[in-house]
């Protein structure tokens, strides 16, 4: 395993020599339960299968033309988000949970894009919960790295199989519904339901070597950033600091990975983030909860890095 902690080395490995590190390591026992025989964009090894799956998602599901057709879905999801925030704050003296609500809005859009069928809020929440459980189940365990220990983890393995079965039982009926809806409209486009989650494993290996990079070593490198650990979004607004998040010109910050396996959802995800932020700020004035407290930025690892204490905030409608 090679660990890269310097931005210039990451650039050299993943941009300049992108093809060498473009494959995925062998799946561990838990991941292989979920990876559909490595037949997803994220799981497949670098080669013709990956190329064809990736081309499919980039040119069909995530193309600019396709994204334009989902405008009404985005608008409905944003209206739902505002409604939810309003009623939650009314019921709780102005306080709202931020992640839970924005996650719901994102899920409304992504599920609609993915499955093309209308879903009620209960079903959306059910799928969201199920996907969260899948991600937690995929958190690496010691027996993933030391197969000798596997017999001691048989309960966890059975649980993973159970979660996979739940996932299939939840999603397949939705695929069937879509199939029934389009059966008179010609063949179903060869779209896979690829992962809409945000995989955090940034590991590839060419000939037995795995190559990983440590994100904080780069995003908190004082040689690249002024006050790197300070939460200071204004640094970008004033133009004082900048980063090419595709990493092509230089690697400074890589929330979507870089190189050939860079997240193909980057464009879509940034549109959604801008939209959610803009709409939340447009509708409400935001302040900390409890009042005058400081935001707790401590983190925990839950497939991706998330806030250890989920953010709660106070909101007030602007009009
Ligand atoms: C804020 C939201 C998102 C973040 C932070 C994120 C981040 C990432 C990261 C770090 C990777 C791994 C890149 C690598 O291995 O080098 C990745 C891969 C991937 N992401 Fe995203 N992602 C986001 C949203 C999305 C969305 C909305 C979609 C699809 C609709 C998507 C689809 C994928 C796929 C299919 C891969 C696998 C690419 C491959 O292996 O070729 N992601 N993402």
Q: What is the pLDDT of residues 151-176, one digit of tens each?
A: 888 888 899 999 999 999 999 999 99
Q: Is residue 84 lining ligand 1, measured as CB closer than 6 Å?
A: no
Nearest one of 200, 193, 154 to 171, comparing CA atoms = 193
Asked if residue 202 has its Cβ within 6 Å of ligand 1, the reply is yes
The alpha carbon dihedral of 105, 109, 110, 112 has a sign of: positive
Q: Which residue out of 60, 265, 276, 277 has the highest number of ligand 1 atoms within 8 Å of its CB and is therefore the one to mutate?
A: 265
Compute the distance from residue 219 Cα to the ligand 1 centre, in Å.
18
For residue 257, the CA-to-ligand 1 centroid distance in Å is 8
- Residue 97 in contact with residue 88, Cβ under 8 Å? yes
pLDDT digits (tens, 9 = 90+) for 85-128: 999 999 999 999 999 999 999 999 999 999 988 789 999 999 99
Backbone angles phi, psi at 315, to 5 degrees: -130, 150
Ligand 1 lined by 44 (C-beta under 6 Å) = no
268 ligand 1 Cβ < 6 A: yes
Q: Give the pairing type, strands 312-317 and 95-97.
A: antiparallel
pLDDT at 203 over 60: no
At 198, is the pLDDT very low, low, confident or very high (cuts 50, 70, 90)? very low
Q: Is the per-residue pLDDT at 275 higher than 60?
A: yes
Q: What is the mean pLDDT of residues 228-236?
A: 90
Decide whether any atom of ligand 1 lies within 6 Å of the 247 Cβ.
no
- pLDDT tens, position by position, 134-147: 998 988 778 777 87
Q: How far apart are CA 60 and CA 190, in angstroms?
A: 9
Binding site per annotation, positions for heme: 263
pLDDT at 197 over 50: no
Distance 304 CA to ligand 1 centre (A): 12
Distance 265 CA to ligand 1 centre (A): 6
pTM, full prediction: 0.87
Instruction: Give residue 209's pLDDT band: very low, low, confident or very high (50, 70, 90).
Output: low
Residue 57 CA: nearest ligand 1 atom is 35
> Interhelix angle for 98-115 vs 154-182, to 10°?
50
CA-closest residue to ligand 1 atom 28: 265
Kindly report the backbone phi and psi dihedral angles of residue 287, in degrees, each rounded to the nearest multiple of 5, phi listed first: -145, 170
What pLDDT score does 207 carry? 52
């Amino acid at each position: 395993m090679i660990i890269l902690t310097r931005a210039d080395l990451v650039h050299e490995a993943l941009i300049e020599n992108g093809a060498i590190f473009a494959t995925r390591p062998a799946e561990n026992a838990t991941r292989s339960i979920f990876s559909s025989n490595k037949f997803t964009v994220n799981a497949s090894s670098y080669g013709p299968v990956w190329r064809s799956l990736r081309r499919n998602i980039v040119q069909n599901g995530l193309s600019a033309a396709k994204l334009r057709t989902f405008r009404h879905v985005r608008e409905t999801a944003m209206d739902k988000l505002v409604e939810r925030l309003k009623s939650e704050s009314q019921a709780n003296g102005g306080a709202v949970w931020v992640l839970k609500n924005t996650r719901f809005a994102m899920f409304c859009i992504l599920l609609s894009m993915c499955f093309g069928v209308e879903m009620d809020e209960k079903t959306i929440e059910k799928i969201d919960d199920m996907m969260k459980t899948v991600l937690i189940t995929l958190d690496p365990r010691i027996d993933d790295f030391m197969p000798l220990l596997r017999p001691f983890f048989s309960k966890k393995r059975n649980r993973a199989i159970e979660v996979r079965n739940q996932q299939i039982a939840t999603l397949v009926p939705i695929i069937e519904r879509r199939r029934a809806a389009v059966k008179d409209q010609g063949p179903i486009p060869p779209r896979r339901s690829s992962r809409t989650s945000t995989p955090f494993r940034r590991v590839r290996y060419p000939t037995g070597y795995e190559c990983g990079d440590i994100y904080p070593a780069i995003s908190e490198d004082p040689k690249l950033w002024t006050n790197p650990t300070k939460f200071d979004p204004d640094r970008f607004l004033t133009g004082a600091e900048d980063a090419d998040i595709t990493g092509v010109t230089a690697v400074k910050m890589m929330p979507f990975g870089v190189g050939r396996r860079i997240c193909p959802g980057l464009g879509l995800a940034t549109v959604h983030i801008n939209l959610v932020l803009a709409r939340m700020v447009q509708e409400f004035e935001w302040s900390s909860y409890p009042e005058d407290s400081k935001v707790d930025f401590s983190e925990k690892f839950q497939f991706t890095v998330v806030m250890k204490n989920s953010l709660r905030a106070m909101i007030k409608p602007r009009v």
